[in-house]
Amino acid sequence: MTERLDLPDTEWRGVSRKYVVVEVVGLIIFGLVVAAATSIPTVISGIQWLAAIPISLGIIFLINILLTPRRVRAIGYMLRADDLVFRRGLMFRRVVAVPYGRMQLVDINRGPLDRAVGLSELKFVTAAASTGVVIPGLPEQDAEELRDTLVALAESRRAGL
Amino acid sequence: MSEFPESEHTENEFPENESVAPTARIASLTAEAQRLADGEWHRLHPATPLLRGGIALLAIIGVIIVNARDFFIETLFNSRNEFDPFSQLAEFGLLIPAVLIVLAVLVLSVLGFYFSWRMHTFRITDEVVEVRSGILFRTNRRGRLDRIQGINISRPLVARLFGAAKLEVSVAGQDANVELSYLGSRGADNLRRAILQLASGTRAVEATEAAASREGGLIEQRVNEFLASELDPDAAPPESIVRIRIPRLIGSLVLSEATIIAVAVAIGIIVTISVSGEYLWLFAFLPGVLGFFGYLLSRLTRSLRYSIASTDDGIRVGYGLLSTTNETLPPGRIHAVEVSQPLLWRPAGWWEIKINTASQASSSGQANAKTTLLPVGDMDDVHRVLQLILPSLANAESRELLEAGLAAGAHDDAYVTSPKRAAVLRWFSWRRNGFVMISDAVALRKGAIWRSLVLVPQARMQSVSMAEGPLLRRMGLAELRVHTVAGPISATIGALERSDVVAFFNQVSHAAVQSASVDTSHRWRSGSTKRTPLTASGSAESVTAEPSTPATATAPVPATDTPEATPEATP
C-alpha cells in the first residue's frame, strides 16, 4: 500500500473511540433496512437469483462495518495558529484548511445515537458551501469548548467575505 | 404580522446613530441624492404603482371600456351579439351589480396601489440601506453597507419611457438584494454614488463638480436620459475599456456550442421529414426551436451596447439596448474569475470571462447575466478586464503568467503541471493541467480542448482542500480545490503530483490567512487619505493596455470593521 495523502508534521487530534459504536449501529440499521427493501422482489416473485442483490449489499455493509474503527481513527483535526485543518477518509481522503476569520457560524448537532453515548457533531460553516468541515464524535464537553474557542478565534481574526 | 421577517441579523449591531448625518459625507452630490441619502425615510417614484403592475390594470380597464362601448353601440342599433358578456349579464338582470362589482374592484385596486406606494419607504443611513413595504404583511429588509456586493441600476423599457429606474443593492446571499423600484432615473444614478460613497468608508470627499447642465425642457431631458447609457458623466469615465463590435458578437453566437447543437438537430429534423414524409415532426421540435431563438436573443440583447469601465468605486458593467442594466461591483467583491474558450472560438482567438460573486440570483437567466463579465473578447480585452478586476495582476510578470495560462500547453513555464503518468486521466491536457501563484491570486490552468484559466484572489478564498480517491492514490496523484462562494466557477484541479499538491496546499492556506488579514476591501476606501482624481481612470488609458486601478483597493492597512476605527482623513 502506498502512503496516504497527509500533511507532514501535523499532530492530529482524533475523535472519541465511542464514535465507532455510533457509526457501526447506524450502518447496521441502515444495512438492515436496505437488505429488507431489496429482498422484497425475491420474496414476492420467488426468483432465486434476485437474492444476490441483498446478499451482495450485505457483504458491502459488512466490509464497511469492519473498516469503521480504522475510518474513525482517520478522522482528525488540528487548531493551527490561523486556521483549522481537518482530515477524514480512508479510501477517499480529504484534508481541508479553513482560516478562522472565514467562519460564519458553528453548529453543534446531536443525533439520537450520538446522545446515547454522549457525543456531538461540530459543523464549521463558511460562505462556501463546499468547505464541508464536519467534525463528528466529539464528547459534549469538548465540542462546546471547541466551539467557544473557534468563535473567539474567529472574532479576533474577523475578515470580510 | 412580524415586523422583521427578512431583515439581516443586524438589529443589535447597529445602534441607530443617525446623529452622524451621512449628508455631510456626500456633500458633492446633487441635492436630490443628498435628500434621499440623508438617513430619513423616503418614498419611491410616484409612477411606481403604474410600473409595478398598474399597466396591467390599465389594460384590463381598457378592455372593459371597449366592451362596454360595443355594448352601447349594439344596443342602440339593436343588433346584439349573443355571446357578448354584457348582453348575457343584462339578460339575467345582473348588469348593474356586475358594474358595481367591477367599479369596487377598480377602486380597491387603485387604493391598494396608492397605499402600497405610501407604505413603501426606504432610507439610507451610514450603516444600512433599509426598505419597508407591504400593507397587511409588512416587510422590512435591511442590508449592511459594508456587505454590499454590487449595486445594479436597471431600466426596463417601459420604466425608461417614464424616466424611472430600479436600483438594487445586493448583499451576500441567495436573492439577498434590497430593491428600490422605482426611482427617478437621475436620482438613481446619484443615489448609487451616494450609497457607494457611504459604503466605501471615506471620511472626506472633496467637492467634485456636480453634474452640470440640467437645462432644457422635459422632453429634451427625457430624450437625453433615454439615449445615455450612463447618466452621471462626472462619475463614470465615458470610455468603456472593451468594445464588442456587432460582427464579433454575432460571430461569437454563431460559433457557440448551442448553435452547433441546433444545426445538428435541424439536420436531423430535415432528414427525418424527408425520409418519413411526415411534416408532423416539425411541430414536435417547434418548442425547442423557439427556445433556442429565445436563448440567442437574450444573449444578443445582453451583450449589445456592452461596456465595462473602472470607476472610483469599482467596476461598472453595463449592457442592453432597450432595457438597460448597469451594475457597479465595488473592489474585492469578485471571488473567482474564469477565462475560458469554447472550442469553436479558438481560430478567432476569443475568450469569455465569468465571475463568482457572493450575491446570487435564483432565476437562471438573471444569474447568467450577472456572472458573465465579458461575453466575448480577444486577448487584449481579456488582459484589460483582468487588470480591472484583479489590479494586483497589472505587471509584466503577471501578464506573462496569464498569457502562459491561456496559451497552448507549453511545458517550460512557471506552472506546476501534472506528471506524465497522469496522461491516463488527462489525455490531452496533462501538459496544461497545472497551478501557479500569480501575485496574490491562485491560478488553475485546465483543459486542452476547452481551455480555461481559473483565478481566485487569496483574500477571497474561504478554505482550501486536497483530496484523493483509490485511483489517484494508486497513481500517487491528488486533487486540489479552492473553495469560494457558490457560482458557475468551481476552482478544482485534479491529477497532480501528490507532493506538489501538499506543498501548494500549505502555501495557499498560509497565503489565504495573510491576505485576508490585510484586506480592507469591505470598506474599500477606508485606508486612503485622499481620493485619486476622478479623471484618472478616464479614456486616455483605455487605449493603452493599462487602465488605472480602482483607488487603493488593497491598501495594506489592518482590517477594520467600523468606520470609527479608520484613520481620520484630511478634510
Q: A98 and A146: one domain?
A: yes
Q: A66 and A80: one domain?
A: no
Which chain B residues are within 8 Å of A126, Cβ to Cβ? 462-463, 483
The whole domain housing A29 covers: 19-71
Which chain A residues are within 8 Å of B516, Cβ to Cβ? 99, 101-102, 157, 159
- Indicate if ipTM > 0.95: no
Return the higher-pLDDT residue of B7 and B57.
B57
Q: What is the DSSP pairing of strand B359-360 with strand B173-174?
A: parallel
Q: How far is B439 from chain A (nearest CA, A)?
A: 20
Q: In angstroms, rounded to a whole number, what is the distance separating the alpha carbons of residues B525 and B230? A: 23
Most confident of B44-58, B85-99, B327-341: B327-341
Which chain B residues are within 8 Å of A154, Cβ to Cβ? none
Q: Which of the residue ranges A26-40, A115-129, B189-203, B520-534 would you say has the lowest mean pLDDT?
A: B520-534
Minimum-distance CB partner of A128 among B147, B485, B516? B485
Which chain A residues are within 8 Å of B481, Cβ to Cβ? 130
Q: In angstroms, rounded to a whole number, what is the distance separating the alpha carbons of residues B356 and A153? A: 27
Q: Does B513 touch chain A (CB under 8 A)?
A: yes
pLDDT at residue B261 is higher than 90: no
pLDDT at residue B419 is higher than 60: yes
Q: In angstroms, rounded to a whole number, what is the distance separating the alpha carbons of residues A128 and A107? A: 15
φ and ψ at A55, to 5 degrees? -65, -45
Minimum-distance CB partner of A157 among B147, B335, B517? B517
The helix or strand, by DSSP H or E, that contains position B373, with its residue range, turns out to be strand B372-377
Dig out the grid coordinates for B74 from the structure. 349594439
Distances A132 to A122, A123, A125, A160 between C-alpha atoms, Å: 11, 8, 7, 20
pLDDT band with cut points at 50, 70 and 90 for residue B97: confident
CB contact under 8 A, B463 and A127: no
Give the residue among A99, A157, A77 at the shortest CA–CA distance from B510.
Answer: A99
Is A8 inside a domain boundary?
A: no
pLDDT at residue B275 is higher than 70: yes
Q: A60 and A84: one domain?
A: no
Is A13 inside a domain boundary?
A: no
Instruction: Point out the domain boundary residue: A71, A91, A113.
Output: A71
Chain A residues whose C-beta sits inside 8 Å of any chain B C-beta: 2, 4-8, 82-83, 85, 89, 91-99, 101-102, 126-131, 133, 157-161
Q: A89 and A134: one domain?
A: yes
Instruction: Point out the domain boundary residue: A30, A56, A71.
Output: A71
Is A53 inside a domain boundary?
A: yes
Minimum-distance CB partner of B474 among A2, A94, A126? A2
C-beta pairs of B547-550 under 8 Å, 24+ apart in sequence: B547/B241, B547/B310, B547/B384, B547/B387, B547/B388, B548/B310, B549/B310, B549/B387, B549/B388, B549/B391, B549/B394, B550/B310, B550/B311, B550/B312, B550/B313, B550/B314, B550/B315, B550/B331, B550/B388, B550/B391, B550/B524
Q: Mean pLDDT, to the nearest integer, of B187-200?
A: 85
Return the higher-pLDDT residue of B96 and A126.
A126
Secondary structure of residue B443 in the 3-state scheme: strand
pLDDT band with cut points at 50, 70 and 90 for residue B530: very low
* Residue-averaged pLDDT of chain B: 77
Q: Mean pLDDT, to the nearest integer, of A50-56?
A: 88
Return the higher-pLDDT residue of B491 and A156.
B491
Is A4 inside a domain boundary?
A: no
Is A12 inside a domain boundary?
A: no
Q: Does B172 touch chain A (CB under 8 A)?
A: yes
Q: Mean pLDDT, to the nearest integer, of A55-68?
A: 93
Q: Does B562 touch chain A (CB under 8 A)?
A: no
Q: A81 and A148: one domain?
A: yes
Q: Which of the residue ranges A133-142, B119-128, B514-523 would you say has the lowest mean pLDDT?
A: B514-523
Q: A64 and A120: one domain?
A: no
Return the higher-pLDDT residue of B276 and A87.
A87
Q: What is the per-residue burial (b if ≥16 Cβ within 10 Å, else e) of B539-555?
A: eebbeeeebbbbbbbbb
Is A11 inside a domain boundary?
A: no
Which chain B residues are within 8 Å of A91, Cβ to Cβ? 469-470
Q: A84 and A130: one domain?
A: yes
Q: Is B147 exposed, middle or buried (0-12, 13-18, 19+ CB in 10 A)?
A: buried
φ and ψ at B166, to 5 degrees? -105, 130
Residue A14's pLDDT is 92
Q: How far is A87 from chain B (nearest CA, A)?
A: 9
Q: A61 and A108: one domain?
A: no
Which chain A residues are within 8 Å of B468, Cβ to Cβ? 4-5, 92-93
CB contact under 8 A, A99 and B513: yes
Is A91 inside a domain boundary?
A: yes
Residue A145's pLDDT is 94
The helix or strand, by DSSP H or E, that contains position A108, with its residue range, turns out to be strand A105-109
Q: Which of the residue ranges B82-86, B140-144, B155-159, B185-189 would you say has the lowest mean pLDDT?
A: B82-86
Residue B205's pLDDT is 43
pLDDT digits (tens, 9 = 90+) for A76-89: 999 998 899 999 99
pLDDT band with cut points at 50, 70 and 90 for residue B217: low
Which candidate in B513, B517, B560 is best for mutational testing of the A interface (most A CBs within 10 A)? Answer: B513
Return the higher-pLDDT residue of B401 and B147.
B401
CB contact under 8 A, A5 and B466: yes
Q: What angle do CA B529, B534, B540 make, to 5 degrees?
A: 130
CB contact under 8 A, A91 and B505: no
Q: In angstroms, rounded to a whole number, what is the distance separating the alpha carbons of residues A120 and A142? A: 9
The β-bridge partners of A105 are: A125
Q: How far is A161 from chain B (nearest CA, A)?
A: 7
User: Percent of chain B beyond pLDDT 90?
Assistant: 22
CB contact under 8 A, A4 and B509: no
Q: A102 and A147: one domain?
A: yes
Q: A53 and A80: one domain?
A: no
Q: Which of the residue ranges B214-218, B378-382, B422-426, B548-552 would you say has the lowest mean pLDDT?
A: B548-552
Which chain B residues are within 8 Å of A105, Cβ to Cβ? none
Return the higher-pLDDT residue of B112 and B85.
B112
Residue B210's pLDDT is 37
pLDDT at residue B279 is higher than 70: yes
CB contact under 8 A, A99 and B559: no
What angle separates helix B95-119 from helix B55-76, to the nearest 10 degrees?
160
Q: A42 and A100: one domain?
A: no
Dig out the grid coordinates for B181 from the structure. 423600484
Return the higher-pLDDT residue of B326 and B213.
B326
What angle separates helix B257-276 from helix B280-303, to the nearest 10 degrees?
160
φ and ψ at B160, to 5 degrees? -65, -40
Which chain A residues are within 8 Å of B517, Cβ to Cβ? 101, 157, 159
The β-bridge partners of B199 are: none
pLDDT band with cut points at 50, 70 and 90 for residue B541: very low
pLDDT band with cut points at 50, 70 and 90 for residue A95: very high
Return the higher-pLDDT residue of B174 and B15.
B174
> What is the tally of structural domains in chain A?
2
Q: Does B490 touch chain A (CB under 8 A)?
A: yes
Which chain B residues are within 8 Å of A101, Cβ to Cβ? 513, 516-517
Residue B476's pLDDT is 92
pLDDT band with cut points at 50, 70 and 90 for residue B185: confident
Instruction: Point out the domain boundary residue: A36, A55, A71.
Output: A71
pLDDT at residue B5 is higher than 70: no
The helix or strand, by DSSP H or E, that contains position A32, with its residue range, turns out to be helix A19-45
Residue B241's pLDDT is 87
Give the residue among A99, A94, A75 at the shortest CA–CA distance from A158.
Answer: A99
Q: How far is B396 from chain A (nearest CA, A)?
A: 29
Q: How far is A59 from chain B (nearest CA, A)?
A: 20
Is A3 inside a domain boundary?
A: no
Q: A64 and A83: one domain?
A: no
CB contact under 8 A, A160 and B332: yes
pLDDT at residue B526 is higher than 90: no
Residue A107: which CATH number? 2.30.29.30
pLDDT digits (tens, 9 = 90+) for B303-353: 888 889 888 788 889 888 888 888 889 888 899 999 999 889 999 999 999
- Taking 3-state DSSP, the helix, strand and coil percentages for chain B, each rounded to the nearest 5, stand at 45, 20, 35
pLDDT band with cut points at 50, 70 and 90 for residue A56: very high
Distances B300 to B145, B295, B342, B376 between C-alpha atoms, Å: 33, 9, 17, 11
Count of CB pairs separated by less than 8 Å, A with B: 112
Sign for the pseudo-dihedral over CA of B554, B558, B564, B569? negative
pLDDT digits (tens, 9 = 90+) for A1-50: 467 888 888 889 999 999 999 999 999 999 999 999 998 888 888 888 88
Residue B15's pLDDT is 39
User: Percent of chain A beyond pLDDT 90?
Assistant: 65
Is B229 within 8 Å of B318 (Cβ atoms)? yes
Residue B569's pLDDT is 36
Residue B80's pLDDT is 55
Computed on alpha carbons and rounded to an integer, the radius of gyration of chain B in Å comes to: 28
